[in-house]
Amino acid sequence: MRAFWGSLISCLIAVAASAQEANPYRVEIDLSQQTAYLIRGRRIVAQSPISSGRYGHLTSTGSFKVIEKERSHYSSIYGKIVDRYGRTIVADADVDMHVPAGCKFAPAPMPYFMRFHGSDGMHAGYLPGYPASHGCVRMPDQLAIAFYNAVEVGTPVTVFGRTPRTNGYSGYGPQPQRGFQWPWSRQPIGPQYEPQPRIYESRPVYP
């Protein structure tokens, strides 16, 4: 009997160790600091500024897991309305909004999408420097790619902290509003839509 239990415990330990080795990463998202961390063991291997859900569309907090990955994902709810020439008529539209004659609804692209709870997911997108999404966690393109390549379906995702109320919040603390723009911010054309994603230099990795 002792041999049986000893063998069973050894087997469970081996399975747990194998699972940890197969999925070594986890993601922690700090809404207060508007920063996402990619962690392996006790080491932060990458960090990214984010734009999480704004008030009225807050990003859910809690312990989750990546449940879907999609390289070229489009929103089924949000986007913009454009005319026949591709010019933006309504920048922040949804599928229930009236579309004028000769125009069409263009779903918002969410490249490198990593769903972790309901409709919430991490993806490359527009970062104005403060929480502005409908619940998703936006990242600069190159950092979204880094996270996308590292995580798997099943990777743990922890979301914590309180979303800042000010729209003048940067990923590294409140900043004076004197016309300064962070390198990842762009001219706003709508909080979910970005026609030409750009690649940004990665931030230094923690030792």
Does position 131 have pLDDT exceeding 50, yes or no?
Answer: yes
Side-by-side strand order, sheet with 120-124: 88-94, 68-82, 104-117, 120-124, 137-139
Q: Could you tell me the residue range of the domain that residue 167 belongs to?
A: 22-73+110-174
Residue 151: phi and psi, rounded to 5, are: -85, 160
Mean pLDDT of the chain: 75
Sequence-distant (≥ 6) Cβ neighbours of residue 165 within 8 angstroms: 55
Residue 13: phi and psi, rounded to 5, are: -65, -40
Q: Is residue 97 part of a domain?
A: no
Does position 18 have pLDDT exceeding 50, yes or no?
Answer: no
Q: Is residue 137 part of a domain?
A: yes
Does position 25 have pLDDT exceeding 70, yes or no?
Answer: yes
Rounded Cα distance, 192 and 57, in Å: 13
* 157-168 confidence digits (pLDDT tens): 999 999 988 655
Q: What is the pLDDT of residue 62?
A: 96
Q: Is residue 101 part of a domain?
A: no
Does position 32 have pLDDT exceeding 90, yes or no?
Answer: yes
Domain count across the chain = 1
Does position 77 have pLDDT exceeding 90, yes or no?
Answer: no
Q: What is the pLDDT of residue 174?
A: 39
Q: Is residue 155 part of a domain?
A: yes
Q: Is residue 82 part of a domain?
A: no
Query: Can you count the helices (H) and strands (E) in the chain?
Result: 2, 12
pTM over 0.85? The answer is no
Q: Is 144 helix (H, G, I), strand (E, B) or coil?
A: helix
Greatest pairwise CA separation for the chain in angstroms = 77
Q: What is the pLDDT of residue 122?
A: 96
Rounded to an integer, the average pLDDT of 4-22 is 49
Sign of the dihedral defined by the CA atoms of residues 168, 164, 32, 191, in that order: negative
Span between the terminal Cα atoms of the chain, in Å:
48
Band the pLDDT of 194: cuts 50, 70, 90: very low
- More confident position, 99 or 38: 38
DSSP structure class, residue 152: -
Cα Rg of the chain (Å, integer): 20
Side-by-side strand order, sheet with 43-49: 43-49, 35-40, 25-30, 156-160, 62-65
Rounded to an integer, the average pLDDT of 64-73 is 92
Query: In this structure, what CATH number is given to the domain that contains residue 30?
Result: 2.40.440.10
